[in-house]
Amino acid sequence: MAGEDNSEQALVVGGQGGIGCAVATQLAQDARFDAVWTVSRKTSTSKGVQCLRPLHTDHSEESIKTLSEQVLEESPRLTRVVIALGTLHGEGYGPEKSLEALQRTSMEVVYRVNCVLPLLWLSALAPGLRKNPDCRVAVLSARVGSIGDNGLGGWYSYRSAKAALNMGLKCASIELARRAKGVKLMAFHPGTVDTALSEPFQRGVPEGKLFTPEFVAERLSGLLDEHPADGALSYLDWAGESIPW
Ligand SMILES: NC(=O)c1ccc[n+]([C@@H]2O[C@H](COP(=O)([O-])OP(=O)(O)OC[C@H]3O[C@@H](n4cnc5c(N)ncnc54)[C@H](OP(=O)(O)O)[C@@H]3O)[C@@H](O)[C@H]2O)c1
């Protein structure tokens, strides 16, 4: 069991992705935290870092429920949750440029990873949030999920999955403002970050605008520290600027 003295605990879902791993490493170096749970489909070790607690999942509903219960039970003061799941391209799918390119199977994968799974994790963690009143929860969204900001079109599945994620988070923020006052929810756009997800699309990125995962992890950590629990969902980019819905 974690939680000696007044120590805090954190959970990173997708803790072996490019951004998730950087967030978990950064939290593990933060003296406030004595346990940082990282959840991934990959088996991993704590890399000798004492407070890293790797957990393996297949993201089935059963696994999400069991692991959430374990984390909540063994974390007396869970103050950070970062959900960093997402996919843009993979075996047989990628961002669609035209309506004709839409395929049911790839849409289902993209919706599942970007929207369904993050919301299922939030759902499984919800009962514990009431007992952790100063918990800050960030879910990795993307600016391209903004309907108001969409001037280019394309990327149908990814854009609409992130827009649906944002709506789910909005509902959650309204519910949590009643059920778990003090919990802060954030939909976070990290900018273009040098990870496997963005790798095929990095060519047009202006100089200085392709961020390292470590830079983004620092930015997110600062924003989570700064933002008061106001019962609202913040949709923010890496610079702390609000993104239109
Ligand atoms: N990189 C960017 O430029 C950028 C820009 C805007 C938004 N984002 C968002 O930031 C978040 C993190 O992305 P990243 O850049 O760190 O990408 P990444 O390195 O590819 O990591 C993707 C994460 O999603 C999980 N994942 C991927 N496919 C999955 C599947 N089929 N089932 C379950 N889990 C799956 C991976 O889990 P495992 O560890 O289990 O493999 C990993 O944790 C995503 O939500 C992404 O949309 C990224």
Q: How large is the average pLDDT for residues 112-134? A: 95
What's the pTM?
Answer: 0.97
Which residue has its alpha carbon closest to ligand 1 atom 37?
14
Q: How far is the CA of 194 from the centre of ligand 1 (A)?
A: 12
What is the secondary structure of 131-190 as a DSSP string? Answer: T-TT-EEEEE--GGG-STT--S---HHHHHHHHHHHHHHHHHHHHHHHHSTT-EEEEEE-
- Please provide the CATH number assigned to the domain covering 8-237: 3.40.50.720
Q: Is the CB of 129 under 6 A from ligand 1?
A: no
Q: How large is the average pLDDT for residues 30-47? A: 91
Q: How large is the average pLDDT for residues 145-173? A: 98
Residue 44: what pLDDT?
Answer: 77
Q: Is the CB of 128 under 6 A from ligand 1?
A: no
User: pLDDT of 44-97, one tens digit each?
Assistant: 777 778 899 999 999 999 999 999 999 999 999 999 999 999 999 999 999 999
Mean pLDDT of the chain: 95
Give how far Cα 77 sits from Cα of 15, 112, 128, Å: 19, 30, 10
Which residue has its alpha carbon closest to ligand 1 atom 31?
113
Q: How far is the CA of 83 from the centre of ligand 1 (A)?
A: 10
Residue 178: what pLDDT?
Answer: 93
Beta-bridge partner residues of 236: 188, 242
Task: Give residue limits of the domains in the chain.
Answer: 8-237
Q: How large is the average pLDDT for residues 156-180? A: 97
Which residue has its alpha carbon closest to ligand 1 atom 8?
142
Which residue has its alpha carbon closest to ligand 1 atom 33?
113
Which residue has its alpha carbon closest to ligand 1 atom 20?
197
Q: Is the CB of 56 under 6 A from ligand 1?
A: no
Q: Is the pLDDT of residue 111 over 70?
A: yes
Chain centroid to Cα 57, Å, comes to: 16
If one compares 187 and 231, the residue with the highest pLDDT of the two is: 187
Residue 6: what pLDDT?
Answer: 87
C-alpha closest to that of 220 among 77, 23, 11: 23
